[in-house]
Amino acid sequence: MRLSTVKQALFALQQLRARSREPIAIVGLACRLPGKANDVESLWQLLAKGVDAISEVPPDRWDLNELYDPAVKPGKVITRHGGFLDDISSFDAHFFGISPREALAMDPQQRLLLEVTWEALENAAIPPDSLKATDTGVYAATGMPDYARRHFWSSDSRLIDAYSGTGTFSSVAAGRISYVLGLNGPAMVIDTACSSSLVAAHLACNALRRRECPLALVGAANLLVSPEPTIFYSQMKTMALDGRCKTFDDRADGYVRGEGCGVLVLKRLSDAEAAGDRIHALIVGSAVNQDGRSNGLTSPNGLAQQAVIRQALQNADREATEVGYVEAHGTGTPLGDPIEVEALKAVYGNNASTALGSIKTNVGHLEPAAGIAGLLKVILMLQRGEIPPHLHLQELNRRISLAGTGISIPTTLTPRPDLA
């Protein structure tokens, strides 16, 4: 074999390795979150001012007088609160080429994803029509099938029509976006519970690096339109009685459910730079694993959490000491918070200064959309060089110790220009 051939082969391998690790640019973003945070600027104002966006359950969702009981009882909810969007019934069906009859059968989570996807493309300055017949990918996540429950379990089966299935099956959420926009790339709905939207982003980044698509839309929506899931969580005793995620606090007694939607537009960095796109932030590495065997099916595994963080750092070719902020899962449960902090201490405990926080203290737990809500917070925080206040922290959980570490939990708006 000639030396020139060997050099060519080595160069090709280097190029392949570089492509497999190319940063992914976030070129567009949009959201609808509790507290009237219907765009990213409103979201930042909510976060920077330390707004608690939790409210009582609206009467159009379920009857609190009938269902609420602070004691755990069959068929009852132990909380009166949640993070709610103002209007989930309005939808411009004609704008998306959907008939009124079909729109009525659509899960409002599907409607919300369509609207916020369009807004994310507007934010990216990408005309939706320009994506027709391209291999643009769609990676979506949706919440509990509350609307399907109402639709199919109605006492009047005559309400079921030809649109009932496509309107309520979770698998259609991504396919409908592809259909409306005329996209030919991968389209899939991811359900890994609370991590769904971040796993969707992970898969989208991998697909972009493998050249499976030139652009990817990543979105998640969660709406609370029937009481049954909250009854279930009440039976599990995972809900906070006062309806607040008191993450890392000694009073932590569970989380509060929240609604919302977030969508990101992703491109390979080289493509974004070539197109002159505005780049909000970069995703340089991610990783996915599973808890495996733990103390229970839904119990966290600290060692698994450590492993996935270390793998993400390795995939990003970054050192733990380079991380100045961690947006925690932070559900505000007595068991989960200490386990998560111990995992973070194992990885980042020797850092000079790493801040910790969770958007759940502002808007609640958005379940499949929780990850993308946290990611939006981090993007806005990095752009402004400020860390928003972490709410509801009065006294650190007695099972958590940050002594001897550089980890802190800011409870006021904290300038961190080094993060920008």
Residues annotated catalytic, as ranges? 194, 329, 365
Selection from 332, 303, 346 nearest residue 390 by Cα: 332
Count Cβ atoms within 10 A of the Cβ of residue 304 and give its class: 0-12 exposed, 13-18 middle, 19 or more buried: middle
Q: SS3 of 44, please?
A: helix
Left if phi > 0, otherwise alpha if psi is -120 to 50, otherwise beta: which for 10? alpha
- First CA to last CA across the chain, in angstroms? 49
* Strand-pair category, 325-327 with 354-357: parallel
**How far apart (Å, rounded) are the C-alpha atoms in residues 322 and 285?**
13
Q: List all residues 6 or more positions away from 136 whose beta carbon is below 8 Å from its beta carbon.
A: 178, 181, 183, 184, 185, 213, 214, 215, 216, 217
Tell the residue number behind the tokens 């909810």, with chain if given. 77
Contact 347, 399 (CB under 8 A): no
Scanning 21-137, the segments in alpha helix (DSSP H) are: 40-48, 64-67, 100-105, 108-123
